[in-house]
Amino acid sequence: METQSLQIITASNQWGALLPEIILGCFAVLILFVDLLMPNLRRQIPRLSILAQLLAAAVLYTGICANCERTGSEVLFGGLLAQNNASDWMRLFFLLGSICVTHIGSVFLSRQSLARVEFHHLVLVVTGAFMILVQSQHFILLFVSLETVTIGFYILVAYRRDSRASLEAGLKYLIMGAFSSGMLLFGVALLYGAASNPELPMAARHPLNFEDLGVFIAASNELFNNSTNLMVLFGAVLVLTGICFKIGVVPFQIWIPDVYQGAPTPVTSFLAVSSKAAGFFLLYLLLDGPFAALGYMTTPLLTVVAIATLLFGNIAALGQRNVKRIMGMSGVAHAGILLMGLLASLKVDWALLAVFFYLVTYALASFGVFEVMAHVADVDDSDQDMDRYNDLLKREPYLGGVLLVSLGSLAGIPPLAGFMAKLLIFIAAFQAGLYWILGVALAGVVISIYYYFGWMRSAVMDNPFLADQAPASIASPRFGARLLMGILAGLTIILGFYQGFFPF
């Protein structure tokens, strides 16, 4: 009787499908023991961490190749988890991103007197949680993995406990993060209450499962005359609000500049790339899954949000001199473009690939910029003015070159990958008929060139007014850093000419 149904459920707990995440978890614990028991191996911990991620990536890639003919998604763990090609590529994206974060972190930590192994431990655990997050098919799994990510970030943002800026950023992120998690939970509770009502004919059996919830919402739309199931609407808006906080779109962007500035550079890059990507994929999962029948409400809402985000992000970045704040504000603007692509992907099939391509180019360019930043920054990396980059191209040609390529890609200068990514998203938005956002986005791109070029100019030219100041201490990149930056910048250039890796 009961044992039999339990056996059926446990049989679907196929842990093998989560092997990459399990590898990350095991190595996360292992490096703690290495630090504790083998002090002479402490120097190797970043390498061990990167090795673990490469191993997980290899396992994952093998899985992707083995499953390449799969269509649709494979539901595992009794409906908690669904794997499909999109989520598998996102997992690989997070793994490769976290390798960059680990490397930037090791460069950053080598110039600081801070705890080391804990940073790598946290990055591994958070990456594993990201990878589970994008496969989640159930609000409980979504919330648990999202909280694991968020708690990891609370710590990582406040990691430089001797710095005021870092602690302030940590506190701000803690409060905003807790607030947004609360919003999300309220929304989930309302959705649960609405969908599990036994008085309704179409009450869902597992109301927190995305698929069951989607079926319920579609059915309740018909029953409630297409627009008036208020509890569902309310819950959906609260859930979307919670996620919009995480990706930092207007009007939920207030935490971005301070947190990006105060957080250690590797953590800023982690927030800017992986966290944002996870939020967008989550938004896609929800909009395309359970909230698909609420398009009449979500599409106008997110259209307004996207327009406000594009305008605010670009205009607010204009007046900034601190490079980390510029990255934060321009990140808000990029979120607006991604949101546009996401809205397009609900109507145009290939637009999701365009969003993914955009995320990849954004990640390559951002990690390039942050890697340079980790070398250029002083011990106190929160206070980095543009003037610090004065004449970088002549002083450290390699760093300067990578910075120019990455910034050019972020601005969307033609031969580079960022241009192609923007173009593809704009075409998708045009096909989806999102003309208003498209117009604002085009204006935003023009504005963004101004502040990116301001930064590029100070890297290329020698400002005579700064000549009498002592030259800033810039770390010369070592072989590993040169290799990584070379790969990032090289891919940024190659993807601008050839996009054949992506099956558009």
Partner 1 sequence: MKEILFHFFAALTLLPAFFVATSRKPVNAAMNMLVSFVGLSALFVLLETYFLAILQVLVYAGAIIVLFLFIIMLIDPHKSPAPSLLRFLASIAAFALMVLTGYFLVYGPEAGPYAQLAAEAPASLSRSFGVALFTRYMLPFQITGFMLLIAMIGVIVVSRKDPATDGGEA
User: In terms of CB distance, is 194 or 484 closer to partner 1?
Assistant: 194
Phi and psi angles of residue 414, each rounded to the nearest 5 degrees, phi first: -40, -55
Tokens for 390, please give them. Answer: 């004065």
CB of 451 to partner 1, least distance (A): 33
73: left (phi over 0), alpha (psi -120 to 50) or beta: beta
Q: Which is nearer to partner 1, 70 or 161 (CB)?
A: 161
Q: How far is the CB of 118 from partner 1 (least distance, A)?
A: 5
- In the bound state with partner 1, the residue whose beta carbon lies nearer, of 61 and 234, is 234
Judged by beta carbon, residue 10 or residue 463, the one nearer partner 1 is 10
Closest approach of partner 1 to the CB of residue 446, in Å: 40
Minimum gap (Å) between residue 76 Cβ and partner 1: 9
Which positions touch partner 1 (CB under 8 A)?
A: 2, 6, 9-10, 13, 18, 25, 28-29, 32, 35, 39, 42-43, 77-78, 80-81, 113-118, 121-122, 125-126, 128-129, 132, 140-141, 144-145, 147-148, 151-152, 154-155, 158-159, 161, 170, 190, 193-194, 197-200, 220, 224, 228-231, 234
Sign of CA pseudo-dihedral 331, 260, 136, 127: positive
Q: Which is nearer to partner 1, 38 or 442 (CB)?
A: 38
Rounded CA-CA distance 424/499 in Å is: 11
Q: State the minimum distance, in angstroms, from the CB of residue 28 to partner 1.
A: 8
| Helix (H), strand (E) counts: the chain | 20, 2
Nearer to partner 1, 154 or 453 (CB): 154
- Choice between 49 and 361, CB closer to partner 1: 49
Q: Which two tokens stand for residue 37?
A: 């028991």
Please state, in angstroms and as integers, the Cα–Cα distance from residue 247 to each residue in 136, 353, 414, following that order: 18, 19, 27
Q: Tell the smallest beta-carbon distance from residue 228 to partner 1 (Å).
A: 5
Helix axes 117-133, 276-288, angle to 10 degrees: 20
Residue 163 or 330: the one with the smaller Cβ distance to partner 1 is: 163
- By beta-carbon proximity to partner 1, the closer residue of 4 and 71 is 4
Q: Residue 250 gets which letter from DSSP?
A: T
- The distance of closest approach from Cβ of residue 301 to partner 1 in the complex, given in angstroms and rounded to an integer, is 18
Least spacing, CB of residue 114 vs partner 1, in Å:
5
The dihedral sign for the CA sequence 176, 180, 185, 186 = positive
Whole-number Å distance between alpha carbons of 2 and 5: 5
Q: What's the closest the beta carbon of residue 377 comes to partner 1, in angstroms?
A: 18
Nearer to partner 1, 43 or 457 (CB): 43
Structural contact between residues 253 and 176, judged by C-beta atoms closer than 8 angstroms: no
> Which among 218, 219, 210, 179 has a CA at the least distance from the CA of 192?
210
Q: Do residues 339 and 305 touch, judged by C-beta distance below 8 A?
A: yes
- Report the DSSP beta bridge partners of residue 76: 81
Please provide the DSSP assignment of 251-314 as one string.
TS-TTHHHHHHHS-HHHHHHIIIIIHHHHHHHHHHHHHTTTGGGHHHHHHHHHHHHHHHHHHHH
What region, left, alpha or beta, does residue 246 occupy, with left being phi > 0 and alpha being psi -120 to 50 degrees?
Answer: alpha
Q: Please check whether residue 31 is in contact with residue 48, taking contact to mean a CB–CB distance below 8 angstroms.
A: yes
β pairing state of 81-83 and 74-76: antiparallel
Residue 185 CA to residue 123 CA, distance in Å, equals 25
CB of 337 to partner 1, least distance (A): 32
Tell me whether residue 178 or residue 230 sits nearer to partner 1 (CB atom).
230
User: What is the DSSP secondary-structure string of 381-418?
Assistant: TT--BGGGGTTHHHHSHHHHHHHHHHHHHHHT-TTSHH
Closest CA to 91 of 46, 59, 138, 48: 59
State the nearest-atom distance from the C-beta of 224 to partner 1, in Å. 7
The CB-of-490 to partner 1 minimum distance in angstroms stands at: 32
Contacts of 333 (CB under 8 A, 6+ apart): 309, 310, 313, 314, 317, 444, 448
Q: Residue 107 Cβ, how far from partner 1 at the closest point, in Å?
A: 15
Identity of the residue, 201 or 500, whose beta carbon is nearer to partner 1 in the bound complex: 201
Tell me whether residue 126 or residue 243 sits nearer to partner 1 (CB atom): 126
